[in-house]
Amino acid sequence: MLKKYIKAGILLIVLGIPAFVFIFLKVFGENKFDLPHYFPELDESGEVRVVNGDTVFVTVPQFTLTDQDSSLMQYQNSDISVVNFFFSRCGTVCPITNKNLLRVAENFKTYDAVKIYSLTVDPVFDRPYVLKKYASELGANYKNWRFLTGDKKYIYDLAIKGFKLPVSDASEYDKNIVDIDQTFIHSDKLLLVDTKGHIRGIYEGTNKSDIERLVVEIKVLLKDR
C-alpha cells in the first residue's frame, strides 16, 4: 500500500512540474526578442570601436530633403524608420519593392512613431510633382510615407556614407548608356532604423517573406521604445 502511495506521489510530481513551470513563466517570465545592430564603427586602424566593453555602431546621419508635397522634411532619428532608395522611372525592382512597402505603411498608418522614407536616386527627373504623381498612382497616400528628392550628390553621399548602400549613375562613366534601368544602379534593400539612429534590420524589398519579417521587427522596436 505504501509503495502504491509513493508511486502515485511521484506521478503527481512528474505531471505537476511542467504545469508549475508553465504557470511560473506565464506569471513571472517575459519573452525577449532583441534585434541585432548592423555596421560597427571602425577606428583609424580599421578595428571595431569598443567603449566600456560595448561595440559602437554606426549612427545614420540627420538630413533635410524635399518631399512630394514640396515641403522640407528633416530626418532626426527620433522615430522608427524604414528607408529605401528608388527612382520613379525604374521598371525592375522599384515597383515590386514599393508595392511591398504598401503593406508596411498600411500596418502602421496609425503609428506616429513609424515612418517610411523613400529617397530617389534620380532627383533631376524626380521633382516633387513627379513623386506626388508616383505616390498617388502607387496608392501610397499615407501621412507616414514620404518620397524625397534633393541635391543628387547629397543623396548619393547619404546612401553610400550614411546608410551603407551602393548607388551610382552609370551614365557619368558611359555616355552610351540609354536604358534608364541600366543608368541608375542602386540597392533594393530596406533598412530599419531605431530611434537612436542605429540600423537594426536589412531586408530585400522584393521578398515578401522579408516584408513580413520587417513588419514583425518594427513591432519589436515599438515594444522596446
All 3 cell numbers of residue 56?
559602437
Angstrom distance (rounded) from CA 211 to CA 213: 5
Is 90 marked as binding a ligand? yes
Return the sign of the alpha-carbon dihedral for residues 61, 51, 190, 157.
positive
Is 94 marked as binding a ligand? yes
Is 2 marked as binding a ligand? no
Specify binding-site residues for Cu cation: 90, 94, 186
